[in-house]
Structure 1
Amino acid sequence: MEYVSSRYRVGASFVGAVLSPILTSFPELVVFLVALLLYGNVSGEDVAVGTVIGEPFVVSTIIYPIIFVIAIIGFYLHYRSDMVLEVDRVLVAPFIVVVAFFPTVLLPAFMNSPQVRLVIAVFLLVIYLLYIYVMRVRQGLAIEDYEGLYMLRIIRTSRLREQLLLATQLAISVALLFVGSRVMVEGIIDLSRSLMLNVMGLSIIIVPTATVLPESITAAIWTLRGRDTMAIAALIGEKVLYSTVYPAIALIVTRWSLDIEALISVIVVEAVSSIMLYHVVKGRLTWDVAVIGLLGYIIYMLILMRGI
């Protein structure tokens, strides 16, 4: 992503908030498709919908606190100059998208109409396209101090061999994602039956906790380097993607039946995102965001475990 910003003069905020989430959300997409296509009954749909609803929830409750811990570590290791995340106000746009439009995913569950689901799906897709346009116009500055791709520092090879290596890596990665997704979906369904817990409720916390690793590690590396805008952009960009595009797809291909756990997760995401929006307007993110997110996670777990 830094290579794209530096080489093609693409602004850092656009890279972090739009391009990076599209790539790092691929594991969730595979889980969603496996759950829907291979386990197309009620349980499979619940896992698929739980994956979509759960991604913004996990990012808001678990990942933000981790990012603040990384900032502290970076400060004491002298990679950073402070422990507060300094962000560009251009990130106001993605936070507004999440706060304003993510709750619309609840409407079809209450109205139970295919026409309503289709209208909201189209609406969310249009919102995402407008979001891309706004972020492209206000993309920020490109990265100037980029050091180069790691592999090209180690291995000097021909362009054809480089493309073959990339293609091989991609094929192996997709195969492993498919196998791992099947195991995960089967495990969630079996676990829900053995513990007598809601399948969607488990999916909301289990699937995103595992599949959120790519964007989390990306954000952690950028936080450690002091690229706070790109770090938060990668996370909020992921939330935008799962507040618009993925719900739109799920609204079209599933019955979109939500449980109380889904409602609670949306409420928590809205609370954390609203507070972060307030801080982004000021240009600084502080620890209260992490504390509120963790409290929301605890409340969710208590509701989920109430049947045990």
Structure 2
Amino acid sequence: MQVYLQVMAFIAFAAGCFTLSYGIDLSFESHEITHFIYFLFPFITTFPELTVYVYGLFSGKAGAEVAIGTALGEPFIVMTVGLLAYKLFTKRPLKMDSGSRDSLLTFIFASVIFFISYYIFRYASVFLILLFVVYEYVAQKAFKREKHESLRKTPLIYTFAGLFLLSLTGKYVVDSTVYFAKLLSLPPSLISFLVIPLISSAPEIVAPFVFLKRKEQEQIASLIAELPLTMSVYPGLLMLVENISVPFPLALGIGISLSQAVLFILEEKTEKNITTFTSFIFLALFVITLRFLI
């Protein structure tokens, strides 16, 4: 009976994610949104991760592991599963604007700083937060130059319904993750790294398909805009207040995400389809690694 209750927590959490995603997609349907995506989109679309992150911080050591796993798992899912889905199903050329390049470069620097701060100097994590502040400053300057219309009522209802549902279910998702980790004798961070981002990244993975009528640059932006936030602020804050451990699979996942970001930039310059192939390779590598470790 308890297992069913834990599963229901994830189902309710998923319902909140998809309700939020639908509201966001409706909101952006007829707006000039390119720089909005970089400036405000990450804060809205990462609300599922934020609820798990905040509840995790107040749920003891196991909860903190769930928080860090969720934060680090999001870039991995977006840069492998999300990117692969986009490339296979849209079949559109890869085009980025300056905002997307800034987003990827910020993510690359944040990933490198994370490794430095974790293994060498814990309080270097402050630089992760400062890096995101600089990124947001650049994004908001571009945002001010765009035209913005007032949002319609229906999208706002869906968006706030999703936010409300996620606020209620976040605590139960943390508890359920810890429960399944004990049941499977696995680190809570590994469960949250693999499971929660698959559910919570719905807004980012779905957005490019909703924006099919838009420019390729806007589709790419909607997929990767949150990477700087999830790789800088969330891990940075957690590392300041908690002594966290990063199991090898999570470190491998960060390395894969970092590699994909670099290849993403190279692909646009060379106009060769690199990341579709590497997504398959990296996912297979990750699965094989897990098979030997678990």
Query: TM-score range, shorter-chain basis?
Result: 0.7 to 0.9
Structure 2 residue 283 is the aligned partner of structure 1 residue 294: no
Deviations 1:85-115 (A, max 9, x none): 333244221111112231221233324xxxx
Q: Secondary structure at the match of 2:40?
A: helix
Per the alignment, residue 117 of structure 2 pairs with 108
Q: CA deviation at 1:150?
A: 7.8
Q: Counterparts of 2:89 and 2:113 in 1: how far apart (Å)? A: 33
Q: Secondary structure at the match of 2:195?
A: helix
Q: Is the 8 A contact 2:35 2:99 kept in 1?
A: no
Q: Is the 8 A contact 1:32 1:48 kept in 2?
A: yes
Sequence identity percentage: 20
Q: Secondary structure at the match of 1:242?
A: helix
Match of 2:85 among 60, 66, 86: 66
Q: How does 1:1-308 map to 2 (within 5 A)?
A: 12-37=33-58, 39-40=59-60, 42-72=61-91, 83-111=92-120, 116-118=121-123, 120-137=124-141, 142=146, 149=152, 151=154, 166=157, 170=160, 172-222=161-211, 224-281=212-269, 287-308=273-294
Q: Is the 8 A contact 2:35 2:146 kept in 1?
A: no
Q: Counterparts of 1:147 and 1:298 in 2: how far apart (Å)? A: 45
Q: CA deviation at 1:6?
A: 7.6
Q: CA RMSD in A?
A: 3.1
- So what's the TM-score if we normalise by structure 2? 0.79
- AA in 1 matched with 2:173: M
- AA in 2 matched with 1:245: V
Unaligned runs of 5+ in 1: 73-82, 153-164
Q: Is the 8 A contact 1:215 1:234 kept in 2?
A: yes
Compare CA radii of gyration and give the structure with the larger one.
Answer: 1
- AA in 1 matched with 2:95: E
Unaligned runs of 5+ in 2: 1-23
Q: CA deviation at 1:250?
A: 1.3
Q: CA 1:31 to 1:61, structure 2 compared with 1: closer, same or farther past 3 Å?
A: same
Q: Counterparts of 1:135 and 1:281 in 2: how far apart (Å)? A: 23
- AA in 1 matched with 2:66: V
Q: Counterparts of 1:59 and 1:131 in 2: how far apart (Å)? A: 19
Q: CA 1:52 to 1:245, structure 2 compared with 1: closer, same or farther past 3 Å?
A: same
Q: CA 1:128 to 1:191, structure 2 compared with 1: closer, same or farther past 3 Å?
A: same
Q: Secondary structure at the match of 1:243?
A: helix
Aligned length: 270
Q: Counterparts of 1:86 and 1:55 in 2: how far apart (Å)? A: 22
Q: CA 1:69 to 1:142, structure 2 compared with 1: closer, same or farther past 3 Å?
A: farther
Q: CA 1:69 to 1:140, structure 2 compared with 1: closer, same or farther past 3 Å?
A: farther
Q: Counterparts of 1:18 and 1:70 in 2: how far apart (Å)? A: 27
- So what's the TM-score if we normalise by structure 1? 0.76
Q: Is the 8 A contact 1:16 1:233 kept in 2?
A: yes
Q: CA 1:70 to 1:149, structure 2 compared with 1: closer, same or farther past 3 Å?
A: farther
